[in-house]
Amino acid sequence: MNLNKQVLLCVNIDHVATLRQARGGIYPSVVEAAQLTESSGADGITIHLREDRRHIQDADVFQLKEIIRGRYTLEMAASQEILEIAKKIKPDLLTIVPEKRQELTTEGGLNVIGNASELKEFLLEVKKANLQASLFIDPDLATIEKAREIGASRIELHTGKYANCPINSPEAESEFQNLKKAAEFAHSIGFIVNAGHGLNLANLPKILQIPNLEELHIGHSIIARAVIVGLNQAVKEIKDILK
């Protein structure tokens, strides 16, 4: 049962750019992908401009600003270089994520407790630029509390550990309960709560039992599914679950 009255779907299209960059060409187009994704029912587009520029490029960030009609979320490390780009395009949301050059994908949430002073200063810079920021964090109550202490008002819960568990396994149930408790606690202390990472057609319905989720950010599974059934169908399948 979906306890969220209106949970929004923001589709991460990074891996359209991954395919393009595999040959350093001009296709597939992330702009065309964004337009088709929105016309298929997505509420917004998410991209991650990494410091190593392995997929999304600077030009993509600016081109997408011109055509996205829904919510535009820019994922980024707490990087001054990327923040300067964000100041120019003014996305609807910045999601601050950890980055490691050698990782295949984001491996976990921010170390908010260990990097509290740096993140607090960075959030102040974001606020001065009149931008909204979210912290991508693990479902840990102490981390959520520290996020509030440093001035965050929105978080995205990392669902990767849950997503990596076998469906309906005891391990999946344990990770789900961690997410549920974290979301409930975060909402109770005033956070807007988003979630994402590793969600797909099979494991998404369980996540919708978590109340008060604002947005889900889903990328790899949709783009992978699109290889088989097309982007339009892949987006609609997820939207049907959310409805």
Kindly state whether residue 237 falls inside one of the protein's structural domains: no
**What is the domain extent for residue 54?**
8-228
Q: How many domains does the chain have?
A: 1
Query: What is the predicted pLDDT for the residue at 2?
Result: 44
> Whole-angstrom Cα distance, residue 80 to residue 74?
14
**Residues 49, 83 contacting (CB under 8 angstroms):** no
> Whole-angstrom Cα distance, residue 41 to residue 239?
7
**Eight-class DSSP state of 2:** -
**Eight-class DSSP state of 123:** H
Kindly state whether residue 239 falls inside one of the protein's structural domains: no
Kindly state whether residue 242 falls inside one of the protein's structural domains: no
Its pTM stands at 0.92
Rounded (5°) CA angle 205-68-213: 30
Query: What is the predicted pLDDT for the residue at 1?
Result: 41
Q: In 3D, which of 118, 162, 121, 117 has the Cα closest to residue 138?
A: 162
Residue 46, amino acid: T
Query: What is the predicted pLDDT for the residue at 243?
Result: 86
Kindly state whether residue 156 falls inside one of the protein's structural domains: yes
What are the residue numbers of the active site?
48, 75, 197
Q: Where are the alpha helices (DSSP H) in the chain?
A: 14-21, 30-39, 58-67, 80-89, 116-128, 141-149, 160-163, 170-188, 204-207, 220-229, 231-242
| One pLDDT digit (tens) per residue for the chain, 243 residues | 445 468 999 999 999 999 999 998 999 999 999 999 999 999 999 999 999 999 999 999 999 999 999 999 999 999 999 999 999 999 999 999 997 655 555 568 899 999 999 999 999 999 999 999 999 999 999 999 999 999 999 999 999 999 999 999 999 999 999 999 999 999 999 999 999 999 999 999 999 999 999 999 999 999 999 999 999 999 999 999 998
Kindly state whether residue 202 falls inside one of the protein's structural domains: yes
Domain harbouring 28, CATH code: 3.20.20.70
Kindly state whether residue 209 falls inside one of the protein's structural domains: yes
8 has which bridge partners? 215
Kindly state whether residue 20 falls inside one of the protein's structural domains: yes
Kindly state whether residue 1 falls inside one of the protein's structural domains: no
Kindly state the tokens that stand for 72. Answer: 């535009």
